Amino acid sequence: MASSAIDSELFGAFFAPPAYRDIFSDRNRVQKWLDIERVLAEVQAELGMIPAAAAAEIARHCDAAKIDLSQIGAGVAATAHPLVPALRIVEGLCADGLGEFIHYGATTQDIMDTGIVLQVKEAWPLLKGDLGACRTALAALAGRHRATVMVGRTHGQQALPITFGFKVAVWIDEIDRHLERMTEAEPRLFVGNLTGAVGTMASFDGHGRRMQREVLTRLGLGTPRICWHAARDRYGELAFLMTQISSTLAKIANQIYTLQQIEFDELAEPHPHGKVGSSTMPHKRNPALMELTVGLGRLVRAKQVALTDALLVEHERDVSCNQVERTSIPEMMIYVGAMLTHMRYCFEGLEVKPARMRANADLLGGLLLSERVMLALGRHIGKQTAHEVVYEIAMQAFEASTPFKTALLADPRVAAHLDAETITSLLDPADYIGEAVAIVDDVIGG
């Protein structure tokens, strides 16, 4: 019976897209171990380290689909060892005692580490593809709304006009850097390890370096210069990268969540017919996916903390780090996959409300354009002096709820230089978005 959110029949759709869950399933985990053991035996036979007949027999039985995983689980509970029970099962399936040569000279962490790397590598195209699809959907949004005026907010307050396309382009630029980081990290992340108990390859009869290189090449992995049993920075880099991606997605989700509040009402996540916001309030249109995505981001960051702690390893090897990694890495990867799945759906169906964005730009009665007025006045009386004048007028207008234009025209220090027509023009948000449209086009174009 499932107890985790990832395997839950109730909540699995929220937390674990099937494709990601399958990659990090027990069945695929065991298959990766057996893939390594099969190739290891084949290469060792070619190097004369084990009989060719043994390699062929071992390879014949390295199929996780033919193995009862519950039998491995019972063995793990009995032996307190994560790999030996699986090896014993394969050994028992081999004829004529040829299974004796499985796992020749290797140590458990060789197989466990390389296995996780193979799972991560299998998931990588999914992650990059989903992140790229998010980028594509955002680029379409930015293009459609490159000139859609909205309020830019700093410190949670209205600051200056921007466009919605400009806001989205900031998200795109961040995603582009994540895609670059993923590509740059691949040569460091997709590296296996087959170096024996303490990494010296003493158990491989002088064939260690050649054997490792050949096995890892066939598995599609890079070869390390030296054993990394006690150097967990590869997993650390993976954790930080997943955390960065998840934090970007959670940040965007939180912004959509905020801008969906009725008081803002500028954006809304997709709300297909049948989606229920509340068991008691029928009118509710809750940003459920955005809340879920923010929550998943917190879970990913929690796993990153655990994996950071796992960087501290005793001497040449220490199983405490493995216990953290074998649970945290799959969960982290699955959660990031879920975030990408949810946000891609959101981006592709996001409801944008330009009229409300424009209305919100007028909420302060023109104060949103105080910088523009200050700069125009500053051409006549100096920027610093203009700042003091406009600041005084702006504070009075805000506190008295007076339209900014009225307050400006009533002040002789302003009226002496800026007439009503000029001030009206200066207070148009759509005319003060700077080079936003061109910047959006630059970002969309990559």
Kindly list the catalytic residues.
155, 278
Whole-angstrom distance, CA of residue 443 vs CA of residue 143: 10
268: helix, coil or strand? strand
Whole-angstrom distance, CA of residue 232 vs CA of residue 138: 35
Number of neighbouring beta carbons within 10 Å of residue 125: 9
Q: What is the DSSP string of 293-352?
A: HHHHHHHHHHHHHHHHHTT---TT--HHHHHHHHHHHHHHHHHHHHHHHHHHHHHHH-EE
- In contact, 40 and 31? CB cutoff 8 Å: no
Residue 164 in tokens: 């919605």
- In contact, 319 and 254? CB cutoff 8 Å: no
What Rg value do the Cα atoms of the chain yield, rounded? 30
Residue 326 in tokens: 């074998």
Whole-angstrom distance, CA of residue 433 vs CA of residue 162: 5
As beta bridge partners, residue 52 has none
- How does 139-174 read in b/e, with b if 16+ C-beta sit within 10 Å? bebbeebbebbbbbbeeeebebbbbbbbbbbebbeb
As beta bridge partners, residue 222 has 191
